[in-house]
Structure formats: structure tokens, C-alpha cells
Structure 1
Amino acid sequence: MAKKKENIQDILDRINEDIETIREKVEELESQAEDSEFEDEDEDE
């Protein structure tokens, strides 16, 4: 039973790492989108 709990904890740790990576990527993409929005506004004028 202890081994199964360790495996579950390992899986949860990997999921948490993946979530953190996804959050970082989302922040990066949001920053790029904000930069693009400003560029688009300049092109429309």
C-alpha cells in the first residue's frame, strides 16, 4: 500500500510541475498578446 501512495504522490508532483509550466507559458503568451494588441492599434490608425 505504501508503494501505491508513493506512486500517487509522484504523479501528483508531476501534475503540479506541469501546471506550473503551463501557467508560465500562459503568462508568456498573454504578454505577447498584449504587445501585439498595441502593435495592431498603431496599424489601424
Structure 2
Amino acid sequence: LAQGLSNKQIASVLNISEQTVKVHIRNLLRKLNVRSRVAATILFLQQRGAQ
């Protein structure tokens, strides 16, 4: 996600369906309490920088 890959690209790398990727990303966004992939990436980079 943080690398800017599309759902289709993520699915290909992980050898899963694009729909499965969508479900996991939707769940991830909900758990992180963010509304977009960009917000999730920013949160990830902030947390990574704090460590």
C-alpha cells in the first residue's frame, strides 16, 4: 500500500484476487480509522519515522 501499488498489482504480487485485496484494504482503513489509502500511508510513514 505504501509503495503506491494498485489493488490489481497487490493481488498479483500476493497471488490473491483483486476483490480479496479490496476487502483487506477496506478493513485496514477501518481499523486505522482513516478514509483513504493516502491517509493510511501517511500514518504508516509517521509511525515508521517515530520508531
Query: Which structure carries more helix by proportion?
Result: 1
- Smaller-chain TM-score bracket: 0.3 to 0.5
For the pair shown, the structure with the greater C-alpha radius of gyration is 1
Q: TM-score, normalised by structure 2?
A: 0.34
More contact order relative to length (CA 8 Å, sep ≥ 6): 2
* TM-score, with length taken from structure 1: 0.38
